[in-house]
Amino acid sequence: MQGKRILLIVGGGIAAYKSCELVRLIRKAGGEVTCVLTEGGSHFVTAMTLAALSENPVHTTLWDLKNEVEMGHIQLSRQADLVVVCPATANMLAKMAAGIADDLATTLILATDKPVLAVPAMNVRMWLNAATQANVATLRSRDITVVDPDDGAMACGEYGPGRLPEPPAVLQAIQHALRGPGALTGRHVLVTAGPTHEAIDPVRYIANRSSGLQGFAIAGAAAAAGAKVTLVAGPVDLPTPFGVTRVNVESALQMEAAVEKALPADVAVMVAAVADWRVESAGEPGRKIKKDGSGQPPALTLVENPDILAGLCASPRRPALVVGFAAETHDVIANAQAKRLRKGADWIVANDVSGDVMGGTRNAVQIVTASGIEAIEQAPKDAIAQALIERIARAFD
């Protein structure tokens, strides 16, 4: 973001208040912001607020005599590195798709030769309306990036897709749009993350302590490197990294099916902590197992879950590079080396989880390959992910 110039168009709608925090985050990341405040947006935030936060004049009208003598709308549209429309209302998206230029904001969008990023926010029914979806498809076909809105509660009292993503997520989208081609551009990276939950009955399950943090960080780093990323995620409450297609699953059987469906891929990074066993029979469908008064626990017969990593390595659609993870508490390297040979993986990323790694924010790993061992010293999981993705990119080079 350092030195990048962002032209931020603030559309109408209650979500406009989040644009103030977005300006602050862009500035903090090293970017420069010039704001265009639409007539609708001015009902929710003021030009004075945006000017104070951006430390630049705020533009509100196409009919500013001094600016337009100098063709100000053309200059504004060409001087930025990226044009961001946030929030982008249904009306704004419709005008953009139709090529309408009836105010400063829409004229700038039509006149720009720079990338455009639109961040929609609107009522769920407006977002799901066929007209809005057609407009979004039109814009995307013209290489305008349209960020999918979040699901959530809305000011109107309804719930569903249409909520503006939080400012940190919008900043991530802006950074992604500014990066251009990366080291993994054109590659498809498949990542699994989190635990699996194996049902005992409708209210109980077998699980483990995996938080999904490391897998989600790897998926985000791969997307930032330009890859198309499919993230098969177990049951964790984590935001989806920008640019990542997420597939939610619960059990190992569901994860196996989702991995197969996601193929073909160039790279598979299998981070998920898949439960080794599941209950052979989860009892009567829809009924909780009750104590019978005997004082004896119910007999649960466990069966082995599918080995998703080994199955992928043996698949005729095997990715060119398969990276497994080994969460170990002792004999870490020896166990990882044996696992790599047993599963048929190209690499095994070994980590010692005897501390607070599962659920913690830091990690230290060792990459076990046929040619040796590479250590990545303890660091935040985001940094571990970045280092691993760089190593994967070098392997393809």
DSSP line for 338-360? HHHHHHT-SEEEEEE-SSSTTTS
pTM, to two decimals: 0.79
Residue 391: what pLDDT? 96
Confidence band, pLDDT 50/70/90 cuts, at residue 117 = very high
- Region label for 42, one of left (φ > 0), alpha (ψ between -120 and 50) or beta (otherwise): alpha
Residue 277: what pLDDT? 96
Residue 103: what pLDDT? 94
Cβ–Cβ under 8 Å, residues 171 and 22: yes
pLDDT single digits (tens) 244-285: 999 999 999 999 999 999 999 999 999 999 999 999 986 677
Structure tokens at 270: 């299998």
Confidence band, pLDDT 50/70/90 cuts, at residue 24 = very high
Question: 291 CB contacts (<8 Å, ≥6 apart)?
Answer: none
Q: What average pLDDT does this structure show over 359-384?
A: 93
Percent of the chain residues past pLDDT 70, beyond the cut: 97
Confidence band, pLDDT 50/70/90 cuts, at residue 67 = low
Cβ atoms within 10 Å of 239's Cβ, excluding its own:
14
Cβ–Cβ under 8 Å, residues 10 and 38: yes
* In the block, residue with structure tokens 């197992």: 289
Residue 243: what pLDDT? 87
Q: Spell out the domains of the chain, with CATH numbers in brackets.
A: 5-179 (3.40.50.1950), 188-396 (3.40.50.10300)
Mean pLDDT, rounded, of the chain: 93
Residue 283: what pLDDT? 67
Cβ–Cβ under 8 Å, residues 87 and 19: yes
Using alpha carbons, select from 185, 109, 168 the residue that is nearest to residue 144: 109
pLDDT single digits (tens) 322-351: 999 999 999 999 999 999 999 999 999 999
Q: At what angle do helices 213-224 and 167-179 cross, to 10 degrees?
A: 40
Burial of 369 (0-12, 13-18, 19+ CB in 10 A): middle
Using alpha carbons, select from 319, 295, 300, 298 the residue that is nearest to residue 309: 319
Secondary structure E strands in the chain:
5-10, 32-37, 82-88, 116-120, 145-146, 150-153, 159-163, 188-193, 198-201, 204-206, 228-233, 244-248, 267-270, 277-279, 302-304, 321-328, 347-352, 362-369, 372-380
Cα separation, 171 vs 151, in Å, equals: 18
Whole-Å CA distances, 253 to 112, 260, 325: 49, 11, 19
Give catalytic status of residue 86 as yes or no. no
User: Backbone phi, then psi, for 367, in 5-degree steps?
Assistant: -90, 115
Residue 80: what pLDDT? 93
Whole-Å CA distances, 273 to 71, 228, 339, 389: 58, 23, 14, 20
Candidates 20, 35, 156, 313; catalytic one? 156
**Per-residue pLDDT at 139 exceeds 60:** yes
DSSP string, 147-206: PPPEEEE-TTS-EEEEEPPPHHHHHHHHHHHHH-S-TTTT-EEEEEESB--EEEETTEEE
**Per-residue pLDDT at 149 exceeds 60:** yes
Cα separation, 280 vs 301, in Å, equals: 6
Lowest mean pLDDT among 112-126, 193-207, 357-371: 357-371
Percent of the chain residues past pLDDT 90, beyond the cut: 80
Q: Between 184 and 69, whose confidence is greater? A: 184
Confidence band, pLDDT 50/70/90 cuts, at residue 70 = low
Cα separation, 179 vs 157, in Å, equals: 37
Structure tokens at 41: 């947006």
Residue 66: what pLDDT? 58
**Per-residue pLDDT at 72 exceeds 90:** no
Question: 237 CB contacts (<8 Å, ≥6 apart)?
Answer: none
